[in-house]
Structure 1
């Protein structure tokens, strides 16, 4: 069992856990279409996603503050859904780094900037209904980004 500090104590392991959730979901979907080995697809997607996901220090701080180790799997799944269910905003053939808010079925809100096919910069996260717990600095940043 992990503690909340171990949830993000090592940024690369946090990204690895999130990437494995995304890779697993993509691999099963792709395996149905192409009849390829699921294990091969998981390792392929895992490498690609791991190199494409980035976190801000603000995101890491908020995860430590707002989530416990028991909620880790729910958080990883919510981030996975957020990355898979949002699309990069494009201007012609160029991707715009625009923050997007994704509200998961579990009640977790993920704010991210999609980059490329599988990449994302994780900006912040909080539990739905906990907007009043956001700091003034965070509220101003989210308003500036057009999220709130």
Structure 2
């Protein structure tokens, strides 16, 4: 019996989770530059996104969408912050199972813990890393929790 680990063939493809071609993401972000960056990175993945600039009336807006697979939500928003919007979304039967990820410049272990305790499904610290973002989104959409603040 050999103690060697079998070699992985160079011809075997690395498997990455598939993103549904018709995945729909709602980005709740008040900073236009941040939204444009997120929209471009999602577009690179073939994902359509919608945009809301405040947590205010986010449930009503989301209800107009034919499909919603993920919400990326800034925490510091005008009129109603991400925590208030999260509570309203979670109260809606239609969106109970939609993952909601906190995306914030307040990126620290303390803020990540607060987001987790408040019911967010994940945490991405800003500035977002364009090299890591595609994999983070793939993981989230495949059901894997992503909690990263740096």
Structure showing greater radius of gyration is 2
Higher strand share: 1
Give the TM-score band, short-chain normalised.
under 0.3
TM-score when normalising by structure 2: 0.24
TM-score when normalising by structure 1: 0.25
Higher helix share: 1
